[in-house]
Amino acid sequence: MGLTLFLQALAIGVVNGALYILTALGLTLIYGILHIVNFAHGELYMLGAMLVYLLFVAMEWPLWAAVPVIVALSVLAGFAVERTIFRRLRGQWLQLLVATVGVSLIIQSVSWIAFGAQEKTVPSVLEGVLLLGSVRVPIERLAAASIAMVLVAILYLIVYRTRTGLAMRAIEEDEETARMPRVDTDRVAGIAVALGFALAALGGVFVAPIYSINPGMGLEAILMSFIIIIVGGLGSITGTVVAGLLIGIIQAVGALTLGAEAAHVLVFVAMIAMLVFRPQGLMGRVR
Amino acid sequence: MHDISRRDAVRSIAIAGAAAALPFSAHAQEAFKIGNLAPLSGPAAAFGIGINRGIELAAEDIGVFEVAGKRYRVESVPYDTSLDPGKTVAALNRAVLNDNVRYGFILGAAVHGAVLPIIRQNGFFDIFMGAAGKEITNAENPTVFRFMASSDQLYYTFTPDIYRKLNIKRVAFMGPNNDLGRSDVKVLKDIAASLKSDGVEFVGEELIELNAKDFQAALLRLLARKPDAIDTNASPTGTVGLIAKQARELGYKGYFISSTAVLEARALVNVAGKGADGIIAYRIWSSSPSPLYDQIAERHLQKYKEPTLGTVWEAYAATRWVVEAIQKAGSFETRKVAEVLAQSTFAGHPYGPASWGGDKTYGARRQIQTPLPASIIKDGSWTPLDVRMGKLD
């Protein structure tokens, strides 16, 4: 394997990893603060992609108008789901698990009916390839990955540099204690879920022009997100970022050296190895 | 008590008469159920939806038909298999045991290994839509008819001519990691070996998940071997489009050959964009082969508000041909109908005159023979490639 090929695979892995991170972050945020495993998360990712198709392609809205509307809708959906389902079932993990699976199935079924079964495509808005020496990086992927990284930085600032973030981390530590200094835990939980939903929807928005889309695409996304947050450590933002990049690189370098089938298996091997040798993940804490 | 007026009495009798006639007329036209066991969701959904539409259009043209003095109308019964062998087994069991369906389209060579025992046991009439070869259509499966070109037809009678015509020397394979992909990659290696004297060489293979969307890293490995053409085998439209798009992004300038898939011509260009140029498909007609082809395209556009899906033509022809054979046999007994069908020819196929072959290659006359073209995308449009599928003995 030549150096050029290795660097090309590395570039593919880093860019893909950055795109995985966005969706996985929402999942880990909701888990970290509310300890809810949100199985409906992949459907938010799918809805982001399908809505960009609906608004940008079918209704011919400009992209600058479509994206804020999608974010606003996903934030509203986040608050609504937190208020009507998560809050009522808080602390009942099994009921919550079943409820999120139910929400996932409802969203997916309605989407198959609403959007149809055929693959859809969103035309690329940034065509062309950036040449970094002999490494080729498609501009649309690079742009999506860069925006994803900016969003990660913003999320990091929210969680670690704002009062709301402080409250989120307080709830993560101990919800009962967090209530004492008059933290509005319900409000903070709502914000966390809304943020998580928005990140998932944006993940879908960014991949829509890169791949073809359909209402079943959420399954693949949530599977990858689970692998990433398990490897990174449940609830850890930094861990999710590191694991996302790591999984992306393992996939790409694995496919280059061993082939596509082996690379697919390699990701699961990484996850199982992590569960066996470091169950808390790369940066998770032992509770 | 009210007196009943004469007008009310007449109205009541008319309503009662109509009500009584309803079950009679429904009974007078029984449903001839044709199952559609195909993907109706996911990346290959267009295959299954196309079959449903083909059956519906054929049903409109067939109208009411008689068998042994009874009147029937074709009815499509869809089952979503997602191209998954397990789901296809469940769907076939449901069709046979619960829904009393004895005839049906089953799409996908990759699912057939799982369903063939059920087909043999029940004498189910399999209107098989897919490629592969002898492992599916053979003397042990008398009620299985392949209504599409087989891998042998597509590869052996097309591929060498295309390699020569386009001066393709180095060939790679990127197809689904299912039974069909694994079997067809062997066929392609065999062809390359047989063309060694012409300088043809098989340089690499990648087997991919059917639902995968990102092929960049796998392509990188393949492109390092500098192929002139990548055979995408039975990958569905969206997958072929993404492979082409991502390969072009990595700097690949060669051809893609969609050998055994049924592609959606326009959707492919939508997915791959400018990268679609150089995609070759074996069953896309750049110019219409018959007036019936045009007529179906027109009706499809009016009825479904979109261009004709790739499987519509063959599903339309298969439905009409099978019903014709049932009428000739005077029975729905599937083995009897199979005997009649195997000896028949059909003039109503949108691709042109159709007949059955495969006696020598498969040991059973169960392989459709129709004219079939090859086309290539140039400047975003399909243009004919001057090659035609050969005859299979």
**Secondary structure, 3-state, chain B:** CCCCCHHHHHHHHHHHHHHHHHHHHHHHEEEEEEEEEECCCCCCHHHHHHHHHHHHHHHHHHCEEEECCEEEEEEEEEEECCCCHHHHHHHHHHHHHHCCCCEEEEECHHHHHHHHHHHHHHCCEEEEECCCCCCCCCCCCCCEEECCCCHHHHHHHHHHHHHHHHCCCEEEEEEECCHHHHHHHHHHHHHHHHCHHHCCEEEEEEEECCCCCCCHHHHHHHHCCCCCEEECCCCCHHHHHHHHHHHHHCCCCCEEEECCCCCCHHHHHHHHHHHHCCEEECCCCCCCCCHHHHHHHHHHHHHHCCCCCCCHHHHHHHHHHHHHHHHHHCCCCHHHHHHHHHCCCECCCCCCCEEEECHHHHCCCCEEECCCEEEEEECCEEEEEEEECCCCC
- Give Cα separations from B333 to B11, B74, B105 (angstroms): 45, 16, 17
Buried b (16+ CB within 10 A) or exposed e, B26-59: eeeeeebbbbbbbbbbbbbbbbbbbbbbbbbbbb
- Token pair 């600032």 in the structure block, residue: A157
Judged by CB atoms closer than 8 Å, whether chains meet at B217 and A253 is answered as yes
| Cβ–Cβ under 8 Å, residues A282 and A24 | no
Judged by CB atoms closer than 8 Å, whether chains meet at A263 and B216 is answered as no
Q: Tell me the shortest Cα–Cα distance from B228 to chain A, in angstroms.
A: 19
Determine the pLDDT at residue A46: 96
| Cβ–Cβ under 8 Å, residues B30 and B72 | yes
Closest CB from B40, B46, B217 relative to A263: B217
Residue A204's H or E segment, with its range, is helix A185-207
CATH number for B4-148+290-369 (one of 1.10.260.40, 3.30.565.10, 3.40.50.2300, 2.60.40.10): it is 3.40.50.2300
**Would you tell me which residues 24-83 of chain A have a C-beta closer than 8 angstroms to some C-beta of chain B?**
none
The dihedral through the CA atoms of B137, B140, B141, B143 has a sign that is positive
Q: Tell me the shortest Cα–Cα distance from A236 to chain B, in angstroms.
A: 27
Superfamily of domain B152-282: Response regulator (3.40.50.2300)
**Intervals of chain B under pLDDT 50:** 1-4, 20-26
- Give Cα separations from A265 to A247, A258, A273, B222 (angstroms): 12, 11, 12, 19
**Intervals of chain A under pLDDT 70:** 1, 175-182, 286-287
The dihedral through the CA atoms of A122, A125, A127, A132 has a sign that is negative
Buried b (16+ CB within 10 A) or exposed e, A224-250: bbbbbbbbbbbbbbebbbbbbbbbbbb
The dihedral through the CA atoms of A95, A98, A102, A103 has a sign that is positive
Residue to substitute from B214, B223, B232, interface A, most A β-carbons within 10 A: B214
Closest CB from B177, B216, B273 relative to A261: B177
Count the neighbouring beta carbons within 10 Å of the beta carbon of residue B380: 11
Residue to substitute from B240, B249, B305, interface A, most A β-carbons within 10 A: B249
**Would you tell me which residues 173-232 of chain A have a C-beta closer than 8 angstroms to some C-beta of chain B?**
211-212, 214-217, 220
- Give Cα separations from B173 to A147, A181, B79, B205 (angstroms): 35, 64, 31, 5
Judged by CB atoms closer than 8 Å, whether chains meet at B207 and A260 is answered as yes
State how far Cα A149 lies from the chain centre. Answer: 12
d(CA A212, CA B42): 11
| Cβ–Cβ under 8 Å, residues B253 and B280 | no
Q: Tell me the shortest Cα–Cα distance from B347 to chain A, in angstroms.
A: 32
Question: Any idea how long chain B is?
Answer: 393
Secondary structure of residue A129 in the 3-state scheme: strand
Closest CA to A166 of A154, A178, A149: A178
d(CA B191, CA B372): 20
Determine the pLDDT at residue B26: 47
CB pairs under 8 A between A and B: 102
Both structure tokens of B216? 């960049």
Residues of chain B within CATH 3.40.50.2300 domain(s) are 4-148+290-369, 152-282
Closest CB from A112, A123, A136 relative to B250: A136
Buried b (16+ CB within 10 A) or exposed e, B220-230: bbbbbeebbbb
Q: Tell me the shortest Cα–Cα distance from B39 to chain A, in angstroms.
A: 10
Q: How many CA atoms lie within 13 A of A112 on its CB side?
A: 15
Which DSSP state fits A53? I
pTM of the full structure = 0.85
Amino acid of residue B62: I
The dihedral through the CA atoms of B140, B141, B143, B145 has a sign that is negative
Show residues of chain A in contact with B268, CB under 8 Å.
none
Whether A4 has its CB under 8 Å from any CB of chain B: the answer is no
Instruction: Return the residue of B nearest to A14 by Cα.
Output: B217
d(CA B212, CA A211): 10
Closest CB from B45, B209, B251 relative to A118: B45
Q: Tell me the shortest Cα–Cα distance from A208 to chain B, in angstroms.
A: 11
| Cβ–Cβ under 8 Å, residues B243 and B219 | yes
Q: Tell me the shortest Cα–Cα distance from A82 to chain B, in angstroms.
A: 30
Judged by CB atoms closer than 8 Å, whether chains meet at B271 and A119 is answered as yes
Both structure tokens of B119? 């087909």
Secondary structure of residue A212 in the 3-state scheme: strand
Judged by CB atoms closer than 8 Å, whether chains meet at B217 and A123 is answered as no
Closest CB from A220, A254, A257 relative to B211: A220
Closest CB from B177, B241, B251 relative to A212: B241
Both structure tokens of B63? 């109208």
Closest CB from B42, B218, B274 relative to A216: B42
State how far Cα A223 lies from the chain centre. Answer: 10
Closest CB from A216, A252, A260 relative to B41: A216
d(CA B387, CA B381): 18
Show residues of chain A in contact with B46, CB under 8 Å.
118-119
Q: Tell me the shortest Cα–Cα distance from A210 to chain B, in angstroms.
A: 9
d(CA A97, CA A40): 10
